[in-house]
Every structure is written in structure tokens, then in C-alpha cells.
């Protein structure tokens, strides 16, 4: 939709988080979830998608979602 690579989006997210914070808004991260065992990556600080689940070692990971509120 934006016509940029996925890798570029992650670098922009950190900038967006800083920009919306200055406007008294926030960037909400809906964490990734393992589609095999249901593990939720709720303590993850990075914006990128994890590669493997620490519980079941599965690689079927739902991508995180982001929302400005």
C-alpha cells in the first residue's frame, strides 16, 4: 500500500512513536502471537516481527499491528 519495503517500515515506526508522543498521543503495539501454541510476545520492545516462538520453536508468527491513538 505504501510501496516501501517491510524493513523500511520498522525504521519509520520509531520515528512515528517519537512524533506522536510530542503531540500527547501514542503508538499502540498489538503484539505478535504464535499461531501454533498461542504464545503472545507482549514484553517485546522491538517493532520487528519475531522469527521463532520461544515456547514451541514454531515459525508461524502473526505480525504485530500498530495503531496511533
Radius of gyration of the chain from Cα atoms? 13
pLDDT of residue 43: 93
Q: Determine the pLDDT at residue 37.
A: 97
Q: How many CB atoms lie within 10 A of CB 16?
A: 14
Q: Please give the model's pTM, rounded to 2 decimal places.
A: 0.75
pLDDT confidence of residue 6: 77
**Residue-level pLDDT at 67:** 92
Dihedral in degrees, nearest 10, Cα atoms 29, 43, 9, 38: -80
The per-residue pLDDT string of the chain (69 residues; one tens digit each, 9 = 90 and over) reads 667 887 888 888 988 999 999 898 999 999 999 999 999 999 998 888 899 999 999 999 999 999 999
Amino acid at each position: 500500500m505504501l510501496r516501501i519495503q517491510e524493513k523500511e517500515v520498522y525504521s519509520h515506526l520509531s520515528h512515528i512513536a517519537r512524533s506522536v508522543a510530542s503531540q500527547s498521543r501514542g503508538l499502540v503495539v498489538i503484539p505478535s502471537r504464535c499461531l501454533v501454541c498461542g504464545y503472545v510476545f507482549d514484553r517485546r520492545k522491538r517493532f520487528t516481527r519475531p522469527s521463532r516462538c520461544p515456547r514451541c520453536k514454531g515459525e508461524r508468527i502473526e505480525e504485530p499491528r500498530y495503531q496511533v491513538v
